[in-house]
Chains A and B, each alone.
Chain A
Amino acid sequence: MTSREGIVNWIFITPVMIILLGVTIFPLLFAYYMSAHDMTMVNFWHPNFVGLENYLEIITTTDFWSSLRFSLFFMVIVTTIETLLGLFMAVYFDRPLKGKRFLISFILIPLGIAPALFGIMMKLMLNEFVGIVPFILRHLGVTFHFFKDFTSSLITLIWVDVIQWTPFIFIVLYAAIQALPREPIEAAIVDGASKWQLFRYITLPMLKRTLIIVLIFRMMDALKTFDTIYVMTGGGPGISTTTLSIYIFKLALIRGDFGLAAAATILFLYLATVAISFALKRMRREGII
């Protein structure tokens, strides 16, 4: 290929490059600039240089660390539950069932709802006055306040996340199971393998590649959770369910301190970049990208 041809090839990708440069790369560089200045809602044209002051303030406040801790904690819990449940469902549906296609479409519905709307929906369902769940619980003689303290809020948020995102893991794994070659499975059945052995030693190893992909996506998406938690608890009670996304959002919009928010942004960027570089390396090794 001549170099002239190489330049022509780049023309195809130029519009995308310009947009990504302007809307993703430049803002990240700008975030560095912001983080070193005392930029606020009222003076973003002429901010003063403050060096590393913003970073110092972020890493010495407990709010940053507690939201980081909650983000990681939430990510690990929901990913674990959703993966196990999704895997169980994918295996469960790998059999003749009456009305299976319809049932699968039905289970996928939460995936098609905007997370913010889904959060509102769940909040309504758990509402003390109109919610059907407290109504049923009352009649069963159980009293449970869904947003009273950290523990109850956490259980509620995990529950909501599981309903919304298990279908994602389920459908990806289900599709992967359907596409598996049937010969090894049939051979194992002939050899008298039990259902558990079939799953543990045949299906699961063949699913490894898909599991890695789905875990990477789900973990990164869980790490950035904002919508549902923001509409349901707003990060409370107190700041106990504040994720890093909510923390930075509040620094920028409620406190109006863009410099501080930018410093927290850069710290989050480093954290996410470390995670993503592991993920990309793994995906390249598996030949995914």
Chain B
Amino acid sequence: MVLSKREILDRMQTLAVSDRRSLVITPLLYKEESDVFDADSVDLKLGCYFLLPKMLDQPFFSPDRESATSLHVKVHVPLGQFLVVPAHQTILGATLEFIKLPSDVSGQVLTKSSVARTFIIVETAPWIHPQYRGCLTLEIANVSNTPVLLYPGRSICQLVLMHVVQEKNTRGSKRGGRNRKGDVKPDTSYFGPVYPEAPKFRDPQDDLLKIGVRKVASLKKKQLVRENEEWKEES
């Protein structure tokens, strides 16, 4: 069941922040409710920090523990300034609003229709789990043939919230587990970010070992060193 504007406002305004049913969206700036609320969604604004793809020093990106943060360069664009997203490029941004979801609510982030019509697509991994807290990292893709300007502080996406029917005797999320009240504990690997976050990976061999794979190919090359008239891999 999708949460209505009234329920969203009730959960934001009447419940204490420590209440597991409370919802936080801050700072939510509006004169009239209709500025940010629809009957079943809330508009979110673009924040001031971005991660832009960076030129790598190798011809590929390997999603492993070591190189996960080497893919991006962080950029700050204050309110009033703009960022140019080149044609056919994807960047990471974050919402201006910090969000805390209740323990019985999931969320989905959707591109605002007016933004989508400029050939900007927000989010390809749009699901937000209960208890999530933080500014939402947004994958922002410019699929048009022209560069597009993004202004921090302008609405970019909408958040739709859905009630989660709690099942008894479940064991919690894959990383979080449950607390004594039976709530899913939040996953702390992406806990409370206020900037867009780079992905966090384990090494592929560790992930694959879990399903019994014991031989894993690697593209990582060692440096070659000339020794005794021949090239050898550096130890």
A and B part of one assembly: no
> Interface residues, chain B, CB within 8 Å of chain A?
none
> Interface residues, chain A, CB within 8 Å of chain B?
none
